[in-house]
Amino acid sequence: MDYMTLLICFIASVLVTPLVKKLAFKIGATDKPNNRKVHQKIMPRLGGLAIYISFLIGYFILTPNSQYVKVDAMLIGSTIIIITGVLDDMIELSAKIKLLGQVLAAGIVVVYGGVQVDFVNLPFGGTLEFGFLSIPLTMLWIIGITNAINLIDGLDGLAAGVSSIVLITISGMAIMKGDMFVASMGMIVLGGTLGFLVYNFHPAKIFMGDTGALFLGYMISVLSLLGFKNVTIISFIVPVIVLGVPISDTFFAIIRRVVNKKPLSAPDKSHLHHCLLNLGYSHRQTVLIIYGMSAIFGLAAVIFSKVTMWGSFLVLAILTLAIEIIVEKIGLVGKNYRPILNMVRVFKLRN
């Protein structure tokens, strides 16, 4: 593991981000305030381009060879994602065009690169073969996580910080498994993300835009697949736990829209960060709280991967209960959605 490459990517991102900021203003890749936005002035986006450039520098320094994936497939796929993000930051692409870019990027790494989850070993014996569903399920994972990271990109430093914690977890677990390819790729993306975070933490001087959110989501989704493919069904839950914050926020956003009978693509101001802001936490406090949540998920994933099968069930049960209570407390689905808290209140009244 070349930690010098991580440092080079960090420095490259710190040096390139101000240049990208100037470019964003020049080509009109800016974010204007509106009733859904937290910021109050025109902000440059496109910051993800700096993360991508620093990633390229680290990529060509390492020139890794992998038994899991043709590395050029990951490079081609991430480039398609970057082009999609840059165009969206400039001219705001339609949802269909953005999805097309994501499908192409996912298809490159799945079909050409051979990154597929073909089967999982069941806990009590036997194997679950995905067969012809292997490709669509793998692509669904990549596209889903790509958009999940995009959805949490609502506050200064939020998506970059959460992605950094996820990348640290994925890379750390890869090192424990001896998978130096996944560890190396995760660390060079981490270096660029941390360098960008220097300018993106509150108060932000530049946003990552869809360029950054889509790129980070794409890389995280692919690396998490590479690190945990074709394993037991229990271990297959590990990347889901690692990505607990963005997945939970996306899942409950879908539930919220179904409950309120709104289109799944309808924007709102009820995501995790909005709910915490509504409870009175400051911008910076909200971001740090979500960082803490993400770190807890990362730690839980490591514990989950090390305990016995029954221990893993216990960890999963505790996590699920904790998520549900937090969701009800902060009103992530709605103010009236409090089934467990209402049960506890009724129980207390009876006793």
* Binding site, annotated residues for Mg(2+): 150, 210
> Which among 95, 110, 16, 73 is positioned nearest to 266, based on CA atoms?
95
248, amino acid identity: S
Which element (helix H / strand E) includes 104? Answer: helix 95-107
Q: How far, CA to CA in Å, does 322 sit from each of 236, 308, 334, 346?
A: 21, 21, 17, 19
- Give, as one character, the DSSP assignment of residue 129: E
What sign does the dihedral 64-66-72-75 (CA atoms) show? negative
- In terms of Cα–Cα distance, which of 147, 272, 196 is closest to 44? 196
C-beta of residue 149 within 8 angstroms of C-beta of residue 216: yes
CA-based nearest residue to 227, from 63, 143, 102, 117: 117
| Exposed / middle / buried, residue 216 (Cβ in 10 Å: 0-12, 13-18, 19+) | buried
Contact 75, 59 (CB under 8 A): yes
